[in-house]
Each structure stands twice: as structure tokens, then as C-alpha cells.
A and B are shown apart, each in its own frame.
Chain A
Amino acid sequence: MTVTSTPPETGRRPAAAPIANSLTAGRLPKGASWTILGSVLVVSAVLFGAIALTTGEFNWVGAIVVGAVLYVPAIWLFSSIVEGRRRAKDRLVTALVTGAFLLAMIPLISVTITVLSLGLARFDADFFTMSMRNVTGEGGGALHAIIGTLLMTGTAAIISIPIGLMTSIYLVEYGRGKIARGIRFLVDVMTGIPSIVAGLFAYALFAIFFGPGVRLGIAGAVALAVLMIPVVVRSSEEMLRLVPNELREASLALGVPKWLTIVKVVLPTSIAGITTGIMLAIARVIGETAPLLIAAGFTQSMNYNMFEGRMQSLPVFVYTQYANQGNPAEAYLDRAWAGALTLILIVMALNLIARLVARYFAPKFGR
């Protein structure tokens, strides 16, 4: 690498040539980092090509990874030669920070590709119309698990939305002093309850009434509600806080009672954000496996009754298909991956709809 200095245009000041372009002197030319990245990748590819001659298989993932890793010292070396130590460090950190982001993309892309490629094998009509009752080996489906997931998540939502919403209203509109601060702190701590502890709690609660060994759909719903309430409270609270105080004051000044102000002014203004928060909360609990495994158990059959018998759910279906593989094992694994694909599609759809609701139904302030 040499510094290219442009020749002076007029020739009147030949002595000034070294500083003719002082702003870019002592800097790597534009695009140099890309050139270095490309050449390092080529070097790495050649290296792995040499290995491929002996093993007969070109490991292109390894080539890219090694090339990317080599880029970090390479850019530091070139930059410290041309630009000095401080800029070299800056470039080094830039490379590392970008690398951290790309590193995090690897699992996301890998999960997406794997779930799509392996999940499509059994992503058929049977999968959505049949249960696993009397199915050994191939065939069967996850209808009982999908119904169970909908029932339990729906019940959890029915329990936690009123409690969560009213709690956030209390925190924003009424709560003052120690009690409010205590509740807010406990809500924050509650978001961190491990999901399996929620499952154990629901089991312990229902075991007192129904005896040990109880597994019920409603117990699973209670476990999910424990996980869902704090999420609903947090998101609704934030949305209620966004409502401008002028709206409340205008309504109160007209003599409207406080509760009517909340119901008719505050809630309609923030309903889009609250809906988004609730949908994200549902998306969070719909993928929970551990609490349902503990509290609702697993079964091969359809069960519409929340208060009697075990109830299958989609995440637990995925887990049991993997954990209790029969013969042939592929049939079980295919069902597990198809279940995983269904689950991810549901979660993604909920996330997407939530964002769309937030965008299109948000209140328009100003004019």
C-alpha cells in the first residue's frame, strides 16, 4: 500500500505536492477495506481449496468464516502501516462490531433455513386435520396440539388481559406512593420468573384441589397467565403514559368523571399500542413449552375440556415428538419440524399483525 498523491494541478507550487490533498493523505483509499476483505477471502478460499485436494470436499462455510476472521488482523495491519495506531484501532473495532452483528445473524438465518427445509416435509393437510390418536409411525397430525394451544393461550389471555390492563391503569392513573412503586417493582421482577417455575406453581396450586399428579388444560392456562400478566402490564403502562395530559385535562375540565375520562378518552387514544402489546405478549407465551409440559402434560388425543384430562399443545407436541421417537424415527422428527414451522409461523404472524396494528391504528396527533 502506497499513498497516492495527486500531482499539483497548476504547477505554481510544486513544493506543496506532499500536502496537496492533506485531507486524504495518510488514509487508506476509499474501498480499501472491501479490497482487503475480498483478497483475504480469496486467500482463505485458496487455503481451503488446498485442503479440499486432500479431503475431496470444499468446506465453503469454513472458508468464509476463516476469511472473515483473517480480515480483522489484516485491516488492522494495513491501517496501522498507512494511517497510524489510533485509526487502526478504530478500524479494528469497526470490524469487530460489524462482526458481532453478522455473528448474531448466523443462528437466525440457520434456524430459518433449517425449519423451512425440514418442516415442509410434513406441512400438509393431514398435519392440520388429524390428531395423533392411535398413530404409530408415519401419518398423524397436530390438530389436537393446535386446538390445545389455542384453548390454553386464549384462556390465559382472558385471565391476564383484564388484570394486566387494570393494573396498568392503576399504575398510570391512580397509583401514588409506596404501593404503586412496590407493584411496579414486582411487575418488573415478575417478568423474570422462569417459565418452568410458573408451571410448577400452577401444578402446586391445582394439586391441592385435585390431588397429586394432576394435569389440566386450565392449569396450563394459569401458568401462561402468570407469565403473560407482567408483559401486558409493562406494555400497556408505557402506552397509557404516551397519552398527552392535555386530553385528560380537557375532558376533566368539561366535568366528565375520571373513570369516564379513562374509558372514553385515554383508552381509545392508546388502544392501538395496547393491542400491539397484548399481541406481543400472546406471541411470547404461545411458544412456551416447559410450563405446559409440567402443568398440562401431553397426550395423543383431542381434548376440548379445559377442566378434565391432559391437554396437548404445539410446543409440547414438538418436544414429545422429538423426545419419544418411535419407529421410523424420521416420521417423528418430520412431525416435530413441521410443528416447529407452524409455531414459528404463528409467532411471526402475531408479531407482524401487532406491528401493523401499531402503525395503521396509531392515533394521529396534530393535524
Chain B
Amino acid sequence: MSTAPAPIKAKLRLGDLVFSRSALFAGSMILVTLAAVAIFLIVQSIPALFATNEDASILTTNFWDYVGPLVFGTIWAAALALLMAVPVSIGIALFISHYAPRRLASVLGYIVDLLAAVPSVVFGLWGIGVLAPAVVPVYAWLNEYLGWIPLFSGDASATGRTILTAAVVLAVMVLPIMTAICREVFLQTPVLHEEAALALGATRWEMIRIAVLPFGRPGIISASVLGLGRALGETMAVAMVLSASHVISFELLTSVNPTTIAANIALSFPEAYALNVNVLIATGLILFIVTFAVNAIARWIVDRRKEFSGAN
């Protein structure tokens, strides 16, 4: 009786082994898929990186001159969209979490989520059919009275299909995800902090400013970065709305607009042949790298706050 009992070892069952291995296999498929995406894109882009206009008809000089305006347009459109979407989504999130009647809040949240359910191609149609004609007089007005600001200079577009319109559509499309994340963080504000602020005589806005916003700042940042990732990669809405040309231009209202990588691929790919295909895939690789980095940064920010889990 003096010897210690041997540690009990669980019996190794075949079912357990098969099940856990297949679960691990499925998990590693994620790694394999991402690696495959990167590898296949890299393999297909290598010939394009050193191509000139003699090899690929889509190029005017070399690959880097081709991709430069596209990268600019992608970042420019996404930045404009974010500029509009961030304040509005913070406002909506505050409205749902702190202003709307409690019973209505979840319904209102669901209504905003409905925006995310509209397919991008429908937003594209809507952008051309409804939004672009509607903003033409506004653009004309901006151009006439605020034309001295470089952003609004140039000849105002007669169709409304400018980068500003595309950015508005992009902003509408990234609103739901940004609102969802902001709302979730705002709702997690410790109630004690809010009540303490109110008990000290703060108005509702002062309570939000000193209790809710500082607490939610990481959430707002990660929501913005995730929204940026979405806006960078959004394709059809931009492809359909924008009347694109291959330029670098900061003018918002003219009919000469820079285009984005994703929209350019969607428009050019169906007719592309030979090395042009590789050129387009190479631009896609650049988009992939940029969005991967942006998303990784967003996740890193979210992961620093362990208790926050709702970012998807």
C-alpha cells in the first residue's frame, strides 16, 4: 500500500484519434489555403513584374508605371470612404447603444445590418442609377462656389460618376461592419463608469466623452482599420460607378478619375489575354499584400484587448 498509485492513463481510442486528427487537418487547411493563395498569385505574377509594353499590350511603359496610379486610386478612394464612414458609424453606434430607446436598440441594429446584406452589384446599379444623377447638381454647386479649393476644381462631371460618388458608395458598404464593432465596444463600457459620470452631473454627451469614447477607442481604431480593409478590396461598386482613367488626380468632381486595383481587374480581366493576365494578377497580389497587412494590424489591435471578441 505504500507505493503511489500509477497515474491513470486515458485509453487511446481509435475514434478519438481519427476525430482529433481530422479536426487538426481541417485547421491546417486554413494555413494551406492562405499559403496557396499567396504562392499561386506570386507564381503567376513573376513574369509580369519585369514585363514592358512590348510583352503586354496593357502596359504603356513598364509594370510599375502601370500599377502606380492604381495603388494611388485604391488608397485615395478608400481614404475618402473612411473619412465619411468613420464619423457616421460612430454616430450610429452611439445612437443605437446610448440614445435609442432600449427596446428599439436591437431592431435598429438589425436594420443597419441589413445594409450589409445588399450585394455589391446592387449597390453598383444603385450608384449609377440613383446616386450619380442625384449628386450632379450638388457637384455643380460645389464646383461653382468652392472651386477655388483644389479638391473641387476642374470641370464638374455631367454624369456624377466621379471618385467622390464611388467613395460615398464605398462608405455605405463599409458602414455596417464598422457600426457593428463600435456598437459592441460601446455597449461594453462599464456601467459604473457611466453612472459615476452622470452622478457627477455630466450631461449625456459629457458622459459619453469621458466614459464611453476613451473606453471604446481601441474598438473605434480597429473598426476603422477593418473598414479600410473592406474599402480597399471592394470591387463591383467602384467598377460600375466610376468613369475611370489611368491618372493620379486629387480632383473629386471631374470625369477624369483614378481607378482602383480591384475595379481595374474586374473591368480588364474578361478581355485580358497572354501576359496581360499576369499583369492583372500581379496587381491583385499587391492588393492582397496591402489588405493582409491592414487586416493583420486591425486584428493585432483587437487582440491586445482580450475581453473583446465580437470583431468579425
Which residues on A are within 8 Å of B, measured CB to CB? 86-87, 89-90, 92-94, 96-101, 103-105, 107-108, 110-111, 114-115, 118, 162-167, 169-171, 173-175, 179-180, 182-183, 185-198, 200-201, 203-205, 207-208, 212-213, 226, 229-231, 233-235, 238, 257-260, 262-263, 283, 286-290, 293-294, 297-298, 315, 318-319, 322-323, 336-337, 340, 343-344, 347-348, 351
Contact = CB atoms under 8 A, between A and B. Distances in A.
A101 B108 contact: yes
Contacts of B115: 104, 107-108
B20 A174 contact: yes
Nearest to B169: A107
B117 A348 contact: yes
A259 B69 CA distance: 54
By DSSP majority rule, is chain B's interface helix, strand, loop, or mixed? helix
A287 B302 CA distance: 28
Nearest to A171: B27
Given A90-B205, A100-B88, A189-B299, A259 B233 contact: no
Contacts of A288: 119-120
Contact of B30 (A98, A169, A183, A205): A183
Interface string B21-37: 01111111111011011
Given A103-B88, A175-B27, A194-B232, A200 B262 contact: no
Q: Name which of B96, B295, B302 has the most chain A CB atoms within 10 A of its CB.
A: B295
Interface stretch (B1-9, B124-132, B156-164, B188-196): B124-132
26 contacts: A90-B206, A92-B205, A101-B96, A104-B88, A104-B112, A107-B172, A110-B130, A111-B118, A163-B30, A185-B296, A186-B34, A189-B299, A191-B312, A193-B292, A194-B234, A196-B266, A196-B287, A200-B284, A229-B33, A234-B312, A289-B236, A294-B265, A298-B270, A319-B236, A340-B121, A348-B114
Interface in B84-131: 87-92, 94-96, 99-100, 108, 111-112, 114-115, 117-126, 128-131
Contacts of B66: none
Q: Name which of A193, A229, A257 has the most chain B CB atoms within 10 A of its CB.
A: A193
Contacts of A297: 270
B273 interface: yes
A200 B265 contact: yes
A196 B305 CA distance: 31
By DSSP majority rule, is chain A's interface helix, strand, loop, or mixed? helix
Interface of B: 13, 15-16, 18-20, 22-31, 33-34, 36-37, 40-41, 43-44, 87-92, 94-96, 99-100, 108, 111-112, 114-115, 117-126, 128-131, 172, 175, 179, 203-206, 208, 226, 229-230, 232-236, 239-240, 262, 265-266, 269-270, 273-274, 277, 280-281, 284, 287-288, 291-292, 294-296, 298-299, 302-303, 309, 311-312
A170 B24 contact: yes
